[in-house]
Amino acid sequence: MRFTRHFTKDNSSPYDEIEFRQTTSEIRNPDGSLVFQAEDIEVPSNWSQVACDVLAQKYFRKAGVPAKLQKVKEDDVPEWLWRGVPDDEAMADSAKDEQFVSESSAKQVFDRLAGTWTYWGWKGGYFDSEADAQIYFDEMRYMLAHQMAAPNSPQWFNTGLHWAYGIDGPSQGHHYVDFTTGELTRSDSAYEHPQPHACFIQSVDDDLVTENGIMDLWVREARLFKYGSGTGTNFSKVRADGEPLSGGGKSSGLMSFLKIGDRAAGAIKSGGTTRRAAKMVVVDIDHPDVEKFIDWKVAEEQKVAALVSGSKMCEKHLNRIMSVCCEGDSDDRFVPKKNPELRKAIIAAREAAVPENYIQRVIEFARQGHTEIEFKTYDTDWDSDAYLTVSGQNSNNSVRITNDFVKAVEADGPWALTMRTNGAIAEETSARELWDKIGYAAWACADPGLQFDTTINEWHTCGVSGRINASNPCSEYMFLDDTACNLASLNLMAFQRADGTVDVDAFEHAVRLWTVVLEISVLMAQFPSKEIAQLSYEFRTLGLGFANIGGLLMASGHSYDSDEGRAICGAITAIMTGVAYSTSAEMAEELGAFPRYDENRDEMLRVIANHRLAAHGEQVGYEGLSILPVPLDHANCPQDDLAKAAVKAWDNAYELGQKHGYRNAQTSVIAPTGTIGLVMDCDTTGIEPDFALVKFKKLAGGGYFKIINRTVPLALSGLGYGEEQVEDIVGYAVGYGTLKDAPGVNHKDLQAKGFTGDAIEALEGALASSFDIKFAFNKWTLGEDFCRETLGLSDAQLDDLGFDMLAHLGFEKSDIEAANAYCCGAMTLEGAPHLKEEHLPVFDCANPCGRIGKRFLSAESHIRMMAAAQPFITGAISKTINMPSNATVEDCKDAYLLSWRLGLKANALYRDGSKLSQPLQSALLDDDDMVEDIVDAPRAAAAPVIAEKIVERVIEKVAERQRLPTRRKGYTQKAIVGGHKVYLRTGEYEDGRLGEIFIDMHKEGAAFRSLMNNFAIAISIGLQYGVPLEEFVEAFTFTRFEPSGIVEGNDTIKMATSVLDYIFREVAISYLGRDDLAHAEPGDMLPDTLGRGVHEDDGGEASTADAIAAIQKVASTGFMRSSKLLVFSGGAEQTETKVTANSAATDSQGQVVADGAATVSAVAVQAAVVEEVETRLDQIREAKAKGYEGDACGECGNFTLVRNGTCMKCVTCGATSGCS
């Protein structure tokens, strides 16, 4: 083949015009700990830090790279293409640890990839001359360095390690077909023939242990997962539950075996390989077990919910039973009839459905002298034991439906489920009921997706050789069983001219070269099984695709949801596949068509002709299609030469194919482009729209800064906005990074509050990179001395992570919000100055942008964009349709039905919040809304509201003593324990926290009294140095020594096993709300708790003076036993009493004092409003506002996951949950 230069020049390196820089790559956990570091790596200067990090962490070879190389002479290969091996002689004088190193330059990687492709291309006869090979080598290196395109991850991992560095290893059981002889050969080297394929489809037979049987499939899958590839299989051959076995008996059914495969994939995922196991499970709609398959993940998610809530319920009630069993010394405490508290605890446990046997077990355990039990609780985190316990979590599930089934649904007709062994009808069910189950399952847990079997096989180029039964895990590669596909994607933004149009010539040139790359990759590859090696050689399927269509459309001023946008996407896709097939026919002329072409010639030309008709924009004339495609919309394509090039590309592809055939049975897919999208610095991946308008760009030295999506200024300029207008709009979105001249809160306002010039300067330095101005107002920015002395803040306030300094200083909520929008930006263009309403759709993203954004792309817009591209893709499109949390089951069914009608091959839906592990944006706001509802409610309605929020605060700080005020509040409690008087005196901080205790037993003798006094001093010092009161309570409750026994004089504690047991029960009840340590509920002491016969209505009224007296009693938090007061003053605004962290988990009875009706009502307000939202929830809220999904990355822990096709991708470290 002949090649020409488009990007490079003769007699010069492609690197000559590229500036490179030295940088350090670091990836850190959210807590700052180092995940990965590489120093002094060489990368192109215009690459972002994220692209550098992904290259260094994921794609640099970390070991075995010789410090010195020598070339291995090959007579039939040009000298510059000779492969390299370690130069042992040259390295002999070097230290052993310096002889083999890591790759440290992007040039090494580019040379390794492009050199290997050129080397195998030369050996395979793809170049007419050495000059053509040199051009190819240079052009490929240029495109890699300029981020114009990238191959899939296995190429970066494996390709060229043997050619460039002589790295080798023992065979791993792979096979390849020798291209010179056509013979299937077992590999004798792990690296000479690389494994560059990411996507596999494997078959399975209805047999348990033979070759290609069920258990054999798990072995074959494991081999793929080990090397980071993904696999899909249609399991419909496996007989259903109850079908007869040849040896007698009945089959355990499909689901029993799917659970084995799921466990195997999960084990490999947790084994620390490159990425989690990527697996697709497909089942036909007529399989007898299809209903169980549809419901599989729904039922498993219900199990997760049951594990989470049930474990916490059991833990609570069983520990309560244990607690009451440990009170007292008599054996009667284990007998419910003789221990009223135990009886109450058992009844409560039974009502919560705690198993009877477990209740008995705990009582017997307590009888043996044990005082506590450990009952593990679970949560809904994706990587938690709850999800690890249930099945079905390691695969994408898809149901394969036919046109006949959809027609049966529309007609509300019957649907036959057929036996696998003999084809007989096992059951006849309602098609609509099955459809409803699919819709509900997709709505409830985002699985299963759908694959449209009839459409897939009507566009099948090799139907004579067999049906298409399955796909890879991401659903873009669809072909025969036991085949593989290697992928590459073109970055469309790299082909955009300054005027916003697409450089068609450059794009076509790149498509031709990358089609050759993928074809050479088939020639050089090895495969994990003999069958895949043979069929991949015989059909030679390729997976060329693109990324950044969302970025390209926005940059050119076209909405993703517009006829123009869809026309551009359709034209680009048509050019790509048309040129790829033209190139394939060109290679067929030189090297021959794929071996199985002749038997499929008619089918293939029929499909190519249908593609061609769609490129011409025809509505009729298609052959062999039940559902007509969406043709190219020439009328709405704003770039005329783009549409013309699409027509020409398919005309050439068809004409050349008629003459020469095709080298490849398939040429294109649209993959998610997860990790490689980060390497190319793509704004959007695959066919996806953008997820946010404001991005957080990583700095080389760590940290992030906000930057507008680079396509936004381009779009605004193209839409006719002037430079100053663009600056204003961008400033509105990103913020100005300063409070100078800001509305609501500015420098003058702060100076009036006492802020000095130095304080404002320090504040400004922190505001430049803040996500919210509240984050900058803290002691670390302003200094503790300034906060204490000038602003008058206490240590408790400064240490409180939830403390709102601006609100404390008197700024209104509306002022803070206005200043925040000015300084930190709205992160959306909604409401931006100058921006016209009709231009807003151009900037619509997959999710609402920022905190105030409302607009987002509809599910229909995603589906119609896919429909515009699908007629020009030989495979399929990996895409998940995002749906809002309020989408209905009907919406899900409608989306699937529209996908079928528009000719898509597959689709998957993701409703926000359909996974228990994924927090909802709306749910995060509900906490605050609940607070406002309580505060704003009428007095009569507010009292009974239960606002429960349990918070765990983990604050790491250097232990410093926090001394109590010299005049402080507290309370004195007198009691008699086992006949001995005990006086307990407490001292409290201003916010009500316990800071000291005094214990006085003055009649017990000097030694014992002194011991108790000094013990109290030790506890007090511990409290003042930050030892949690909870730790002391856990340590000293249930200790046993004399005096002990009956307690008199305390209204909640009636029995103690020692003086220390009594002391710490008392402080726990008073300061921690630990009513589980009490023997009488506080509410039992109140007049409206116990019935009073004919006097039932008496005594509930109180005078205003009584109400005031009740309020005065709360001077001490401990005295009120952590009660919360909601104080209503007639005609005045209701104020909210703050709750300390210590009382955040309380369960005590509160008092509500109402002045208007002059009543004191004993209403339980359990654990009222907390002042601090849990840190993790803050992180999730911030991540969602930034456009991320709200989940933490499983590899680096950062909350920077974005949806990527049917998977998730971390934009910090590049990890993906799929095979891209």
The predicted-structure confidence for 582-630, as pLDDT tens digits, reads as follows 999 999 999 999 999 999 999 999 999 999 999 999 999 999 999 999 9
The helix/strand count (H/E) of the chain reads as 41, 34
pLDDT over 80 (residue 909): yes
| 637 pLDDT above the threshold of 50 | yes
Residue 181 lies in a domain: no
Neighbour tally for 444: CB within 10 Å: 18
Query: Is residue 491 annotated as part of the catalytic site, yes or no?
Result: no
Tell whether 1115 and 1150 lie within a shared domain. yes
Which three-class secondary structure string do you get for 239-272?
CCCCCECCCCCECCCHHHHHHHHHHHHHHHHCCC
N-term to C-term CA, the chain: 30
Residues 936 and 1011 both lie in one domain: no
Show which of 387, 412, 442 is a domain's final residue. 387
Instruction: State the residue for tokens 């930190």.
Output: 824
| Confidence at 907, pLDDT banded by 50, 70, 90 | very high
Question: Where is pLDDT greater, at 683 or 121?
Answer: 121
In a domain, 853, yes or no: no
Over range 1053-1075, report the average pLDDT.
89
* Per-residue pLDDT at 1000: 87
Report helix, strand or coil for 984.
Answer: strand
Strand pairing category for 199-201 and 483-491: antiparallel
- 1157 and 1139 belong to one structural domain: yes
pLDDT (0 to 100) of residue 241: 94
Has residue 122 been placed in a domain? Answer: no
DSSP secondary structure, 938-975, as one string: -HHHHTT------------------PPPSS----EEEE
- Parallel/antiparallel/unpaired status of strands 184-186 and 199-201: unpaired
Q: What is the DSSP string of 6-64?
A: SS--TTS-TTTT--EEEEEEEEE-TTS-EEEEEEEEEEETTS-HHHHHHIIIIIS--S-
Average pLDDT, whole number, for the chain?
85
Characterize the bridge pairing of strands 425-430 and 449-452. unpaired
Crossing angle of helices 889-901 and 431-445, in 10° steps, is 110
Distance CA 418, CA 237 (A): 11
Three-class secondary structure of residue 1161 per DSSP = strand
User: Residue 35 in contact with residue 1196, Cβ under 8 Å?
Assistant: yes
Name the residue with higher pLDDT: 705 or 334. Answer: 334
Residues sharing a CB contact under 8 Å with residue 154, sequence separation 6 or more, in sequence order: 194, 195, 196, 197, 198, 227, 228, 229, 486
Shared domain for 1006 and 1105, answered yes or no, is: no
Of the residues 1161, 1182, 1198, the one at which a domain ends: 1161
Which is catalytic among the residues 476, 1172, 1174, 1195? Answer: 476
Separation between Cα atoms, residue 651 and residue 667, nearest integer Å: 16
Strands 470-471 and 84-86: unpaired
Q: Which residues pair with 199 in a beta bridge?
A: 230, 485
Q: How far apart are the C-alpha atoms of 1050 and 1082, rounded to whole Å?
A: 11
Q: Tell me: do 976 and 1076 sit in the same domain.
A: yes
CA atoms within 13 A of residue 998's CA, in its CB half-sphere: 12
1073 and 998 together in one domain:
yes
Q: Are residues 1055 and 1101 in the same domain?
A: no
Work out the percent of the chain whose per-residue pLDDT is above 70.
Answer: 84
What confidence tier does 325 reach under pLDDT thresholds 50, 70, 90? very high
Structure tokens at 986: 């407490």
Helices (H), 447-488: 453-458
Q: Tell me, what amino acid is at 1196? A: C
Q: How many CB atoms lie within 10 A of CB 63?
A: 9
In this structure, is residue 773 part of a structural domain? yes
pLDDT bin (cut points 50, 70, 90) of residue 1151 is very low
Closest listed residue to residue 697, CA positions, set 106, 52, 42, 23: 52
Q: 73-87, 837-851, 962-976, 1108-1122 — which is least confidently predicted?
A: 1108-1122
Whether residue 284 lies inside any domain: the answer is no
Catalytic residue of the set 474, 823, 1207, 1213? 474
Angle of helix 290-325 versus helix 254-269 axis, rounded to 10: 60
For residues 977 and 1076, state if they share a domain.
Answer: yes
Above 50 in pLDDT, residue 786? Answer: yes
Backbone φ and ψ of 217, nearest 5°: -60, -40
Same domain, 1108 and 1031: no
The Cα–Cα gap between 580 and 568 comes to 18
- Residue 1145 binned pLDDT confidence (cut-offs 50, 70, 90): very low
Evaluate the CA torsion angle 734, 739, 740, 744 in order and state its sign. Answer: positive
What mean pLDDT is predicted for residues 420-441? 96
**Structural domain includes residue 584:** no
981 and 1043 belong to one structural domain: yes
Confidence of residue 1161 (pLDDT cuts 50, 70, 90): very low
Distance CA 604, CA 661 (A): 9
Domain membership flag for residue 930: yes
pLDDT in tens, 493-538: 999 999 999 999 999 999 999 999 999 999 999 998 899 999 999 9
Answer with the one of 321, 356, 387 that is the final residue of a domain: 387
Residue 781 structure tokens: 């920015």
Lowest mean pLDDT among 227-231, 507-511, 736-740, 903-907: 227-231
Full DSSP string of 1087-1100: TTTS--GGGTTTT-
Is residue 833 assigned to a domain?
Answer: no
Write out the two tokens for 867.
Answer: 């429909």
Give the residue among 525, 576, 578, 616 at the shortest CA–CA distance from 176: 525
Q: Per-residue pLDDT tens for 1169-1191?
A: 333 334 555 666 666 666 677 66
Interval 258-307: pLDDT, tens? 999 999 888 875 434 344 568 999 999 999 999 999 999 999 999 999 99
Q: Per the structure block, which two tokens stand in for 580?
A: 């790829």
pLDDT tens digits for 531-558?
999 999 999 999 999 999 999 999 999 9
804-810 average pLDDT score: 91
Mean pLDDT of 1031-1041: 88
Determine how β-strand 278-284 pairs with β-strand 230-234: parallel
Burial (0-12, 13-18, 19+ Cβ within 10 Å), 317: buried
Q: Looking up tokens 């919406």, which residue turns up? A: 891
Predicted confidence (pLDDT) at residue 429 exceeds the cutoff of 50? yes
Asked if the model's pLDDT at residue 1047 lies above 80, the reply is: yes
As for how many domains the chain has, the answer is 4
Same domain for 1137 and 990, yes or no, is no
When pLDDT is averaged across residues 111-140 and rounded to a whole number, the result is: 98
Of 493, 491, 494, nearest in space to 7 by CA:
494
What pLDDT score was predicted for residue 952?
A: 37
Give me 1214's structure tokens.
């590049």
Residue 476 known to be catalytic:
yes
Residue 926: which pLDDT band, with cuts at 50, 70 and 90?
very low
Q: H-helix or E-strand containing 889?
A: helix 889-901
Question: Mean per-residue pLDDT for 750-765?
Answer: 91
743 and 786 part of one domain? yes
C-beta separation of 810 from 1179 below 8 A: no
Q: Which residues have C-beta within 8 Å of that of residue 1010, sequence separation ≥ 6?
A: none
Least-confidence region, from 11-20, 76-85, 265-274, 295-304? 265-274
Taking Cα atoms as reference points, which of 1039, 1042, 1066 lies closest to residue 1052? Answer: 1066
Of 472, 486, 491, 1142, catalytic:
472
The domain in which residue 978 lies consists of 972-1080
pLDDT at 959 over 70: no
